[in-house]
Amino acid sequence: MHMRLVISTLVLLGGCVTAAAQDNYPSRPVEVIVPYAPGGGSDIMVRNMVKVIEQHKLVPVPIAVVNKAGGGGAIARTQFSQARPDGYMLGVMDPNPVLQQLLGEAPQNYRTDFTYIAKLVDDVNFLIVKTDSPLKTLADAVAEIKKRGPKRFSIAGTATGSQDHVASIDFDAAIGQQTNYLVTKSGGEVLTTLLGGHVDAAWANPSECIEQYKAGQVRILAVGDTKRLKDFPDVPTFKEAGVDMVSYNWRGIGGPPRLPKPVVDYWVGVLGKMRETPDWKQGYLAKVYQEDGWLVGEPLMSYVHKEHDQFKGVFEKLGMLKK
């Protein structure tokens, strides 16, 4: 009886300590892991997020951005999926955990190995070439791909099992040809690879290539949206250009599994305030042509589950699903 009382007391005290720690959260610096090298869309988003949070003093402790590239993001996600669920290590979430699980490219399970906190932005993919490329239109690119034959036309993108990779898979299926997908470590490296003349074309989000576009270094052949973007009225959608496909992406923030609800609620509150600021709306979203993609809680998880089912159907049809 005495031992039971001791154990019960320790459990109660442990619960009190945990609750107290959560009440004082955050009391020390927080790390946000970016699973890719600097310069890509995820890196740009997180650094703008931290900048706005600091400008508006929304968090009382420093936030460190840590880039950890490798394994298409799986290495970083392994680290923060195994972190202590105390809220001091968070990370970028996007479709890649779902995609890589379906393709057998990562050890994590998107349902059980992460806590999804908030979806922040929606993005689209461009197919781009260097400005001095002889390919002036998407039709030119398709004709060149058919002329060269299987795997002779190279397109750069980020990570095996990434949204870029899926874009290439969809593109190949839509045109009935097979291109050569070249894996890089980040959206920034994609641009370096393209501008260095190492590939024929590349996948890039607006935030990743807008400066090169404005500088006249790249040409956009098509956008993976269902309609033309108002800021790029002369760029056709893939479907308008004769290729029946779309290519979207999203980015948000998550953490390890079993992240306590008070910690999740804390960040939902902080990020909710951040996204209402002009610095976020005009200083980031409008500047790099991102759309507000705010989702939290059950609506966010419903979105991710639906995305999983859609991708699973595509990969089953293509014979790419990892059994």
In order along its 323 residues, the chain shows pLDDT tens digits of 455 554 455 455 444 444 445 579 999 999 999 999 898 889 999 999 999 999 999 999 999 999 998 877 888 988 989 999 999 999 999 998 998 899 888 888 999 999 999 999 999 999 999 999 999 999 999 999 999 999 999 999 987 878 899 899 999 999 999 999 999 988 889 999 999 999 999 999 998 999 999 999 999 999 999 999 988 999 999 999 999 999 988 999 999 999 999 999 999 999 999 999 999 999 999 998 889 999 999 999 999 999 999 889 888 887 888 86
CATH homologous superfamily for the domain 27-122+249-318: Bordetella uptake gene, domain 1 (3.40.190.150)
Q: Which CATH architecture has domain 124-248?
A: 3-Layer(aba) Sandwich (3.40)
Beta strand spans in 59-130 (E):
63-67, 89-93, 115-124, 126-130
Question: 299 burial class (0-12, 13-18, 19+ CB within 10 angstroms)?
Answer: exposed
**Sheet with 291-295: strands ordered across:** 63-67, 30-34, 89-93, 248-255, 115-124, 291-295
Nearest-angstrom CA–CA distance, 138 and 240: 10
Q: Which two tokens stand for residue 266?
A: 């804390």
Q: For residues 245 and 222, is the Cβ–Cβ distance under 8 A?
A: no
Please name every residue paired with 92 in a beta bridge, in sequence order, or none if there are none: 253
Half-sphere exposure of 29 (CA within 13 A, CB side): 8
Distance of CA 287 to the CA centre of its chain: 18
Which residue is associated with the tokens 């490329």?
A: 133
For 125-136, the DSSP string reads: -EEEEETT-S--
Please name every residue paired with 218 in a beta bridge, in sequence order, or none if there are none: 130
Domain range summary for the chain, segments of one domain joined by +: 27-122+249-318, 124-248
